[in-house]
Amino acid sequence: MHVSVRIQEDDIWVADEYRALRDRMPGTIGAIATFIGLVRDQQADDEVLSLTIEHYPGMTEQSIHTIVESAGQRWPLDDVVIVHRVGELAAHEQIVFVQVAAGHRAAAFAACEFLMDYLKTDAVFWKREATPHQTRWLESSAQDESRARAWKTPDPTEQN
Amino acid sequence: MDIDVLFFASLRDVVGAASISVQLPVPAGQRELLAVLGERFSDTVMQALQAENVRISVNKTLATQPLSYSDGDEIAFLPPITGG
């Protein structure tokens, strides 16, 4: 499995990531699933001006690699790219990019969702949200925790 | 021995610094570290550092109790994380 994990302040160029994958992908790949997460402009009836994302260099990358390894043990994946931005991002900007290539779509779709669910709960990032009224540090929501927990029960798309 | 102590996100705001260097006796664990930090920081800061949802990493690996520190270690206080 080819794995690329990158943390960057720069924007994410989806076409470039897809092109790079197509250039290196073996003939066995039959499905590519991608996900892009954006900064929402509303949160609980308040306008969101920006999101500032902080990480712990070294530990953050390792935490993401651990999540990718878990996905690789559950599904037969050929290629995983995760790009996560840090710094101050305005509403509507791209935060995160996940790209999964596999032999078949079931694995690609499921692994893409699994990776996002665990990025929410297990990746070492902190987010500070700024609204016109306040700034506050965010925590993963009860819904995020429950989505990640749900993967602990067996899934029919898994390889085993 | 000397160790570096890092504070992230909300804890950096509370502490007012991203990192500090502290001298600990040998041997030292979490109790000795908290004692040294307690001499430097207010009760409010110490309560924040010891909140139930704060995790500790040693040299960028999540640590489990009991902790035992070595010279040159990088200890970090991590408030609840969320990515994506």
Residue B80 sits at the chain A interface (C-beta within 8 Å): yes
Mean pLDDT of chain A: 94
User: What pLDDT score does A140 carry?
Assistant: 82
Residue A89: how many other CB atoms lie within 10 Å: 19
pLDDT score, position A159: 57
- Structural domain includes residue B70: yes
- Considering only CB atoms, which chain B residues are within 8 Å of A122? 81, 83
The domain total for chain B is 1
Optimal mutation site among B13, B58, B61, B82, interface A, most CBs of chain A within 10 A: B82
Cα dihedral sign, A129-A133-A136-A138? negative
- Tell me, yes or no, whether B32 lies in a domain: yes
Q: How far apart are CA B39 and CA B35, in angstroms?
A: 7
pLDDT tier for residue A44 given thresholds of 50, 70 and 90: confident
Q: Is A121 exposed, middle or buried (0-12, 13-18, 19+ CB in 10 A)?
A: buried
SS3 B79: coil
List the domain boundaries for chain A: 2-146
Residue B84 lies in a domain: no
**Domain-embedded: residue B45:** yes
Element (H, E) at A46: strand A46-47
Structural domain contains residue B62:
yes
Looking at residue B28, what is its pLDDT? Answer: 95
Question: Does residue B83 fall inside a structural domain?
Answer: no
Q: Which domain holds residue B54?
A: 2-78
Does ipTM come in above 0.90?
yes
Q: How confident is the model at residue A160 (pLDDT cuts 50, 70, 90)?
A: very low
CATH number for the domain harbouring residue B58: 3.10.20.30
pLDDT in tens, A87-125: 999 999 999 999 999 999 999 999 999 999 999 999 999
Per-residue pLDDT at A11 exceeds 70: yes
Domain A2-146 has CATH 3.90.1170.40: yes
In the prediction, which pLDDT does B66 show? 80
Of the partner residues B61, B79, B84, the one whose CB lies closest to the CB of residue A126: B79
Cross-chain residue pair B76–A59, CB shorter than 8 Å:
yes
Tokens of A106: 């079931």
Q: Dump pLDDT digits (tens) for B20-74.
A: 999 999 999 999 999 999 999 999 999 999 999 999 999 999 998 788 999 999 9
